[in-house]
Structure 1
Amino acid sequence: MSAESSEKPLGSRAPRFIKSSRPLHVSWQIVIFLIGLAVVVGGVILLPLPGPGWLIIFAGIGVWATEFPWAQRVLRWTKRKLHEWTALAKRRRAERAARREGRTRS
């Protein structure tokens, strides 16, 4: 988990003056939650339609991740899985290219 140690620590990224006042910070979290919720709901509505439904959902989770540690962990997990999938796809593509290269030489 050395990759996680180089990442930013989990927690609120609200400005210092907002964090200094508990009522203001809670209000800030509510606003961030509602904005993220609107973006995620918009993405869910767009899922059956052609377009960037999943991208919009992850953007909403990104909005939540500015304030909530659970959303930051979800994004980290998603990024890790995306990198794993991309590496797997590259390996498979290289293997197919090598097989094709072997067939054309025969």
Structure 2
Amino acid sequence: MNAESDERGKVAPTVTTAPATGDVTEEVTVEPPLGSRAPEFIKARRTLHISWQVGVFVVGLAVVAAGAAMLVLPGPGWVVIFGGMAIWATEFVWAQLVLRWTKRKVTEAAHRALDPKVRRRNLILTTVGLVIMAALIGVYLWKYGFAMPWSI
């Protein structure tokens, strides 16, 4: 009942950049094996294991559906969707692979954001945006004046 995958037992390299020097180093992290994380007594009985998988799928589906609803309603939609994916990842290899890919991409984006050139560019863009916003607010106030929307 264990699902096999090409990524089972692989070691994932992690590339890091030293903030002070900018040197790129490569660290090797060992990821846990793919497959079901159900207790052994459940995996030992096929019917019980399939029932367990159905239950995990239904609970994960409910959480992902709630997260999808929160994308248009108030609430932390993406956080809840990834929580549902984490529930699925306790049992299904495909969800484990999706979460590993997502974690890898988020880590890469975080490392890129810490790159001094990228940080400098982001600071310049933010400053330019704030100056433009201040100019627009100044023009609006010059033309229409400052009026409170309520009476005091």
Give the structure, 1 or 2, with the largest relative contact order (CA under 8 Å, sep 6 or more). 1
Q: How many residue pairs get matched?
A: 98
**Residue of structure 1 equivalent to 2:32:** 8
> Which of the pair has more CA radius of gyration?
2
| Corresponding residue number in structure 1 for 2:137 | none
TM-score by length of 2: 0.59
Give the C-alpha shift of residue 86 in structure 1. Answer: 0.9
- Which segments of 5 or more consecutive residues in structure 2 lack a partner in the other structure? 1-9, 14-28, 125-152
Matched, 1:60 2:84: yes
Q: Secondary structure at the match of 1:45?
A: helix
Q: Which has the higher strand share?
A: 2
Pick closer, same or farther for the CA change 1:98–1:70 going to 2, 3 Å: closer
In structure 2, the partner of 1:34 is 58
- Structure 1: which 5+ residue stretches go unaligned? 100-106
Larger helix proportion, structure 1 or 2? 1
Percent identity between the aligned chains?
56
| Counterpart selection for 2:94 from 66, 70, 77 | 70
1:38 partner amino acid? A
CA distance in 1 between counterparts of 2:122 and 2:65 reads: 41
Normalising by structure 1, we get a TM-score of: 0.84
CA contact (8 A) 2:63 2:80 kept: yes
RMSD of aligned alpha carbons: 2.0
